[in-house]
Chain A
Amino acid sequence: MSDLLDVKKLRVTFPTASGPVDVVKDISFSLGRERLGIVGESGSGKTMTGRSILRLIRPPGKVTAERMDFEGTELLAISEPAMRKVRGARISMVMQDPKFSLNPVMTVGEQIGEALAVHEKLPRRRVKQRVLEMLEAVQIREPERVFGLYPHEVSGGMGQRVMIAMMLIPEPSILIADEPTSALDVSVQGEVLSIMNDLVTRKGMGLIFISHDLHLVSAFCDRILVMYRGEIVEECRADALHAATHPYTRGLLASVPRLGETRAELPVLDRSAWETA
């Protein structure tokens, strides 16, 4: 399996009043044409990991890595203009809440067209055609109508589909999805995930799926990284999650209530079990 992305010793540091703090501590992982899940709780560094790949960490935050190789390009070495060509066109990102990521004064169609135009010079009519095709691909029923809508006129689920369309239209090699469904309803969640899954597998993209939800990730991804306090504490195949070995992963799995719960009390994470080690 050829790796799309190879990361070695990635470190993200933020200065604070009491000295620099590493929010991501020397993590290494690689991504092939697969669905990789990164799971962790708030403050685990999962979002920072995703953003650092796109060099979206703002100063004073600092990103260093021994290697961050994307299809032969060292991402941390190239210039900002070169990075801009990578961002969106070859690696894109879907954020948590579509409401904040879409420009409120541009129609949906214009925005998706813009995303395409930045990376590819096409005649106008062709752009519109491609946008409509893309809207259809994310299962929007009346693409012609949605093309002319403004972001506030579409529902949450549709907004997230529009975001996905916008991110996938330049046909990137890697899609980073940061909690793409946690603002959505259960019934819509499934649809959005299957659309994303379909596009990723059909086009042979690599997907980094960032989420706090262990069960969701294990149902959806091929491989899982579990992050805790900036470190990867567990790496396993998604179908082998139940056999996870690290106490943190096991604790997390156990602390989630189940359907038909019979336990009188949920086990609570005992962080002292591994933090001293």
Chain B
Amino acid sequence: MSAISLTNVSIAYGGNTVVHDASFEVAPGESFALVGESGSGKSTVLRAITGLAPEWTGEIALLGKPRGRTIDRAFAAECQMVFQDPYGSLHPRQTVDATLSEPLAIHGIKGADRRVPEMMAACGLDPKFRFRLPHQLSGGQRQRVAIARALMLEPKVLLLDEPTSALDVSVQAEILNLLKRLRREQGLTYILVTHDLPVVSFLCDRMAVMKAGRIVEIAPVSALADDGLTSDYARELVEKSRSGLA
């Protein structure tokens, strides 16, 4: 049974089809990347899996169960998402504590006073940040909070939408290390959306290259290093990335 499987999924926004016939499977524990430029539809795929983009046809299954078009609590407990912009993904008037307790409150899980500090520690957040507001945190710290929030419900699958592209390089390294460690420790399955091939190379096992709403190639990440990509477009992306222009 695969953690996530998409079969011939087409996704539309307001009647405009932006993703055509996407199919791929992600095994439990695997880290899978969706690579492409903006407008390629890679983020839209994530939004369809979560239910934030409900206009899709085809089949999406999470851990063997077919996905509906809405967000329900059972789904929330198994699959969570980390957003790109750490400045926009945290409620500006809620403390770290409130942000992290909210998922527990929604699911009626007790023991927030124990779980919140534990999760903060796991994500490398100093306990003194617990009652701070987002504007009192740096970009990297905010992204750690966002990751901690996504893990509060102990999901199996984590969807990562460009989780480091808004961060400084040195902070990016810290967050990438954190994501890698959490995956190893908690046996998580990742789907990472990014335009940054080196990040894929560091964090993922397999990747799908998307262009204009279609998957043009699915390949193991090792193909990045040993020139194993076959499609022209994927090779072009690698070339650009290598020349330093990405």
Contacts and interface: CB of A to CB of B under 8 A. Distances in A.
A268 B197 contact: no
A265 B225 CA distance: 18
Interface string A260-273: 11011111110000
A197 to B, nearest CB: 11
A41, A251, A259, A265: most-surrounded residue (chain B CB, <10 A): A259
A152 interface: no
Contact of A256 (B139, B198, B226): B198
Contacts of A260: 201, 222, 224-226
Contacts of A265: 177, 180
Contacts of B244: 215-216, 218-220
A252 interface: yes
A215 B38 CA distance: 21
Interface in B116-139: 139
A247 to B, nearest CB: 12
A245 interface: no
A214 interface: yes
Contact of B168 (A41, A190, A215): A41
B169, B198, B240, B246: most-surrounded residue (chain A CB, <10 A): B169
A101 interface: no
B52 interface: no
Contacts of A264: 180
A259 B242 CA distance: 7
Interface stretch (A67-75, A119-127, A135-143, A181-189): A181-189
Interface string A161-189: 00000000000000000000000011101
A193 interface: yes
Interface string B233-246: 00001101111111
Nearest to A215: B244
Nearest to B40: A185
B201 A190 contact: no
Contacts of A263: 202
B224 A259 contact: yes
Nearest to B243: A219
A161 B29 CA distance: 44
Contact of B201 (A186, A193, A215, A261): A261
A265 B173 CA distance: 9
B102 interface: no
Contacts of B171: 41
Interface in B150-207: 168-174, 176-177, 180, 195, 197-199, 201-202
A216 B245 contact: yes
Contact of A266 (B37, B168, B202, B243): B202
Nearest to A269: B170
Given A186-B37, A256-B198, A41 B246 contact: no
B37 A261 contact: no
A20 interface: no
Interface in A45-94: none
B198 A255 contact: no
A220 B172 CA distance: 23
B37 A212 contact: no
A52 B201 CA distance: 39
Contacts of B238: 259
A42, A219, A255: most-surrounded residue (chain B CB, <10 A): A255
Contacts of A269: 170, 173
A268 B173 contact: yes
A214 B243 CA distance: 12
B168, B172, B225, B245: most-surrounded residue (chain A CB, <10 A): B245
B176 A266 contact: yes
24 contacts: A185-B39, A186-B237, A186-B240, A186-B241, A186-B245, A186-B246, A187-B240, A216-B244, A218-B244, A251-B170, A252-B170, A256-B198, A257-B198, A257-B201, A257-B202, A258-B201, A259-B197, A259-B198, A259-B201, A266-B176, A267-B173, A268-B174, A269-B170, A269-B173
Given A256-B198, A266-B202, 5 more contacts: A42-B168, A187-B37, A255-B172, A256-B173, A268-B173
